[in-house]
Structure 1
């Protein structure tokens, strides 16, 4: 498995640089999917994924159709905390795995409990569709884990909390990286992936049934269990950058 950036991340970082350096301003239109795809040498699906992240961050608005208001339009510049969230997308590669896991445990257990308690019930169609896609055929580990990360992000987005959703989007590439590294150490990927799917289904069922305490516990066990099973480092190694040092 490779640690090279995923194609959508290349697109995101290119647009981020233009925003942070002032080459793009509110009111500007981004080039179309076809143009961005050709300019950056990536597929159009990767362009769409990057735009989705930017929309979650509240920096662009997308509209279908034709005319001056169609396509992707810059609606805000990153500033203050939003700038930090954008830079998190790039900087997270230097964070200790243990720190990322602890952050996930705090955010995602809270999301699961909040979703279970919500009234009316949140729309979890996107999360359910992702699980169906993961079960539809035998997927390579990297593809399965990419969908896994999207499942967790979809739950965060369903909460309606834009800060949590943006933070999860910022951490996504680092989450994918460490789970892929961990998968390489497993004695049986088919057994582990089957267990992860059962856990995903249980989490979704608990949320849909309004069982907040159970949803919280299941998410905690799901994240910490994989972390323990893969024997990933529990402390920052000398090669990992301390963001405060």
Structure 2
């Protein structure tokens, strides 16, 4: 391979660090995942163990990996944590931020669905099929927490099928920020069979449009899903407000009548 005169060949450790970093970016290895053993990873990458150790040290210095004593090296959540942590508190305390979050989700998730439908490979379709099947399996009688987790995994599978690393990581961050509100919304929908079935149908519409490579339909179905979530959250907020008023009236009625 010809190189520009005077250019230095990349150091082996730098090249190895770049390969591992690429896997983190593309989601092949995720936050919390443990890297393969030093022996196995060095053999897979075709490098010496000292070069691999140096690469891991470089990624640890960047905050992408942390090493536990006798526990190997694990991927950190640095790419998401600094975004998610302050926004979770803001989202809980401000209704206008909640509205903005849904607006941003509509923009991000509809584009992710469009790109997924346009770009997904047969492997992506298989993974998406598995995520949708897992979600479908939770709709009838499964514990609600399992359904919430399956819902989040389904949306993340779509983001990863978009083949845009920023979309994938942003979607993961947004889902982390909005986890509490998504959970509350699903809990409110769960006993309302008609609404629950509507939710189920929306996920199916998104899934089919992506696997059948219909980008416009996928984006449209994704936007319709967020519109539905926005409507349901408004209904839930109104119901909570009415309940609070009723409780105040009940507490007032229980007070002794003063002469």
TM-score (norm 1): 0.61
Secondary structure class of the residue paired with 1:142 = helix
Aligned pairs (5 A) from 1:1-245? 56=27, 63-64=35-36, 67=39, 69=41, 76=59, 77=62, 85-93=80-88, 94-95=90-91, 96-118=97-119, 123-137=124-138, 138-186=141-189, 188-231=191-234
Give the Å deviation of 1:113: 1.2
Task: Flag the structure with more relative contact order, 1 or 2, with Cα contacts below 8 A and sequence separation at least 6.
Answer: 1
Secondary structure class of the residue paired with 1:230 = helix
Distance 1:136-1:59 versus aligned 2 partners, 3 A rule: closer
Pick which of 59-68 and 101-110 moved more: 59-68
Q: State the distance in 2 between where 1:120 and 1:133 align.
A: 20
Q: State the distance in 1 between where 2:30 and 2:232 align.
A: 38
Give the Å deviation of 1:165: 0.9
Q: State the distance in 1 between where 2:124 and 2:28 align.
A: 20
Secondary structure class of the residue paired with 1:131 = helix
> Normalized per residue, which structure has more helix?
2
Distance 1:75-1:194 versus aligned 2 partners, 3 A rule: farther
Which portions of structure 1, spanning 4 or more consecutive aligned residues, are displaced by more than 6 angstroms?
52-55, 57-61
Q: Which residue of 2 aligns with 1:47?
A: none
Q: State the distance in 1 between where 2:194 and 2:58 align.
A: 46
Deviations 1:65-101 (A, max 9, x none): 562737xx5763259xx96743112223023221221
Give the Å deviation of 1:144: 0.8
Q: State the distance in 2 between where 1:53 and 1:177 align.
A: 26
> How many residues are matched?
183
Q: State the distance in 1 between where 2:156 and 2:179 align.
A: 12
Q: State the distance in 2 between where 1:78 and 1:215 align.
A: 36
Question: Are the equivalent residues in 2 in contact too, given 1:53–1:169 (CA < 8 A)?
Answer: no
Distance 1:84-1:110 versus aligned 2 partners, 3 A rule: same
Distance 1:53-1:213 versus aligned 2 partners, 3 A rule: same
Structure 1 gaps of 5+ residues are: 1-25, 28-51, 234-245
Q: State the distance in 2 between where 1:122 and 1:83 align.
A: 28
Question: Are the equivalent residues in 2 in contact too, given 1:117–1:212 (CA < 8 A)?
Answer: yes
Q: State the distance in 2 between where 1:193 and 1:160 align.
A: 30
